[in-house]
Each structure stands twice: as structure tokens, then as C-alpha cells.
């Protein structure tokens, strides 16, 4: 069987903002300004994050969804092109070599979309296949990895995955309630890409992917289109639900390959928030060092939705661990896990 091997990464971010400045100069008056809201921002585990919209200079909270989507088309293109070009260069390929380009986003839509525009701008062949994965949220990069890996195995041609998320476009009108304050304290903008090659002699193989959806808690995490952008619902129950589902999901994946948790050298766990990382560490009996890369990405970049897990993997896989597990979570309530192996 042809192996699907990650051979290149690319990451692009818009301007960086200080979390403290965002609170002091904007969100203190955009929330109820309470001590509770202040603690949410200061205890989010985020020091800096990124945005194509700087609320300190441009308050878009009353913009229509149409206005936000028009801005998405403009802003997503440059970020996506930068990340994808980096990944292609890192893998030693041109866009013309790609058999498939998969684009992931839950923060904006247009047709013709990023997949078509980027394929043309970067010089992809006219027979390059394209796929768009939308509205799956933070875990979408992992089914995206599965899709490009399957294409590589079947066709024997390279494929690329690009995640572009611009959550700053969905600033909600004031005053933010507690649930909205949590979301606005965490989320950030970024683009991240990987290029996957058939039977590459260096890189990281995508071995297997698994998922589990707990529909009894489907409303615990939501992402709805409203007249003023996309509005997140984020229940305080999410970490506890994940803690119950995560061990069986991960061990089920590992057991298929005669592995257990002790065999895994590196972990890339999506930092949906500081508390989610804390419960994941306890549920999987990991050490703080195991989740240090996830906490560092959260601290430096915030939660960049689907792009985040690729940003963590870029850091983790640089050390060429023998076996790596990636985990991400999102609406549904859905968990995705991937097993990766150095080659």
C-alpha cells in the first residue's frame, strides 16, 4: 500500500494583539465589565493572539453577515496563499504537482472559493481536484488529513490541506454574556497548511484516524449563522463530556495498532481552552510536558479553530517522534484522533 506522508508545513498569521490590551481597551466595555468577565479574559491561558480585525481600531460588532463575508474573501486569500506556498516549498513541490487541494474553514464562505482562487493563483494544474470542508469547527483538520491521505494512497499523487479561520470577523454585539465572553477571550485567526506525499522517505505518515460523536450533548458546542455574523455556543459542560469520551476514543485507535498510551512519544491536543487541556491531561494520564506544545500554542496564538492542530503538529513533529497522537474536538459533540508515525 502507498503510504501518505506529511512532508511540508506552512503557517501564516495576521497582526498580533496583546490579550491584556484587548481587555483593557475594548472588551471591558464590550462585556458587562464585571470581575467575572475580567477573570475569563485573564485566565484563558492566552497572552497574545491574532486578528484580521483589530477591535481597538475597528468595531465590526454591528456589521451584517454579508459585510463580514465580503471581508473574509479579501483577508483569507493572502493568508491562505502564504501558508500553502510555504508548505509546498517546504515539501519541494509546486502547486502544479498537486492531485488534490482540500480547504477547511468554518468562518467564511464564497463561491468561487479559496480552493478555486488559490489553485489559479499558485498555478495548479487544471485537473487538480478540489474539496471544501466547511462548518465542522475546531476538529476539521483531522478529517481533512484523512481525506488528503486517502487521496494520496489511492491516486499516488501529492495532496495539500489548507485550514483558514478568521474568527475575528464574528465579533458579536455588546454586551457579551458569559458564554460569549469565553469565546471572545479564546479565539484567534490563522492559516495553516500541510502537503502530503506518496511514499516519501522522510516525514510523518498519517497512519489512522478515528472519531466519536456524542449526540446526547450536541448542543454543548454550536456555531450558528446570524444576521450579525456567526455566533458560538460553548457550554461549561464541554470539558467534562470530553473527559468521559477521550480515553476510549484514543485507546480504541491505539489498540487497532497494538499500541497503548505509554508507547506515544508526542501529543498534539487541540487547546479548546485551558480547562480542556487540564482535563485531557488527567483523562489520558499524561504529564504537563506532554501537553506543553498545546499550551504554548494557546498562549502565543489563542485558539485558531481548525488551523490550531496543524500549528501544534508543526512544532511537535520537528523533533521526529516515533509515534504521535493528535486529538481535536468540536460541535456535535465530536472528537477526532489521528495516529502519526515517523518515516
Residues noted as catalytic: 138
Instruction: Of 193, 240, 203, give the one whose Cα is nearest residue 321.
Output: 203
For residue 17, the cross-strand partners are 49
Q: Please classify residue 220 by burial: count the beta carbons closer than 10 Å to its beta carbon, then call 0-12 exposed, 13-18 middle and 19+ buried.
A: buried
> How many C-beta atoms surround the C-beta of residue 237 within 10 A?
13
Give the strand pairing for 189-198 and 221-226.
Answer: unpaired
Q: Is 117 helix (H, G, I), strand (E, B) or coil?
A: helix
Q: Please classify residue 149 by burial: count the beta carbons closer than 10 Å to its beta carbon, then call 0-12 exposed, 13-18 middle and 19+ buried.
A: buried
In whole angstroms, give the CA distance from residue 140 to residue 106. Answer: 9
Residue 252 CA, chain-centre distance (Å), reads: 23
Amino acid at each position: 500500500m502507498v503510504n501518505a506522508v506529511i512532508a511540508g508545513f506552512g503557517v501564516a498569521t495576521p497582526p498580533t494583539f496583546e490579550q491584556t490590551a484587548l481587555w483593557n481597551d475594548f472588551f471591558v466595555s464590550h462585556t458587562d465589565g464585571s470581575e467575572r468577565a475580567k477573570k475569563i479574559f485573564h485566565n484563558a491561558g492566552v497572552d497574545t493572539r491574532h486578528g484580521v480585525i483589530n477591535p481597538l481600531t475597528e468595531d465590526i460588532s454591528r456589521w451584517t453577515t454579508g459585510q463580514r463575508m465580503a471581508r473574509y474573501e479579501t483577508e483569507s486569500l493572502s493568508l491562505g496563499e502564504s501558508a500553502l506556498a510555504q508548505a509546498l516549498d517546504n515539501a519541494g513541490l509546486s502547486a502544479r504537482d498537486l492531485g488534490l487541494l482540500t480547504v477547511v474553514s468554518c468562518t467564511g464562505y464564497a463561491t468561487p472559493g479559496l480552493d478555486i482562487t488559490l489553485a489559479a493563483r499558485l498555478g495548479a494544474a487544471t485537473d487538480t481536484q478540489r474539496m471544501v470542508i466547511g462548518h465542522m469547527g475546531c476538529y476539521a483538520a483531522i478529517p481533512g488529513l484523512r481525506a488528503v491521505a486517502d487521496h494520496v494512497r489511492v491516486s499516488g499523487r501529492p495532496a495539500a490541506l489548507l485550514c483558514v479561520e478568521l474568527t475575528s470577523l464574528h465579533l458579536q454585539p455588546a454586551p457579551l454574556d458569559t458564554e460569549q465572553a469565553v469565546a471572545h477571550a479564546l479565539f484567534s485567526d490563522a492559516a495553516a497548511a500541510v502537503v502530503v506525499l506518496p511514499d516519501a522517505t522522510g516525514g510523518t505518515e498519517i497512519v489512522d484516524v478515528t472519531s466519536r460523536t456524542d449526540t446526547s450533548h450536541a448542543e454543548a458546542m454550536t456555531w450558528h449563522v446570524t444576521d450579525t455574523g456567526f455566533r458560538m455556543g460553548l457550554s461549561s459542560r464541554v470539558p467534562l463530556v470530553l473527559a468521559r469520551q477521550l480515553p476510549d476514543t484514543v485507546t480504541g485507535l491505539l489498540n487497532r495498532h497494538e499500541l497503548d498510551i505509554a508507547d506515544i512519544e508526542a501529543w498534539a491536543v487541540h487547546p479548546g481552552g485551558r480547562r480542556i487541556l487540564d482535563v485531557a491531561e488527567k483523562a489520558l494520564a499524561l504529564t504537563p510536558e506532554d501537553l506543553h506544545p498545546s499550551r504554548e500554542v494557546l498562549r502565543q496564538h489563542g485558539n485558531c479553530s481548525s488551523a490550531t492542530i496543524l500549528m501544534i503538529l508543526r512544532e511537535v513533529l520537528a523533533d521526529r517522534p516515533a509515534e504521535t497522537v493528535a486529538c481535536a474536538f468540536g460541535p456535535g459533540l465530536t472528537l477526532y484522533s489521528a495516529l502519526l508515525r515517523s518515516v
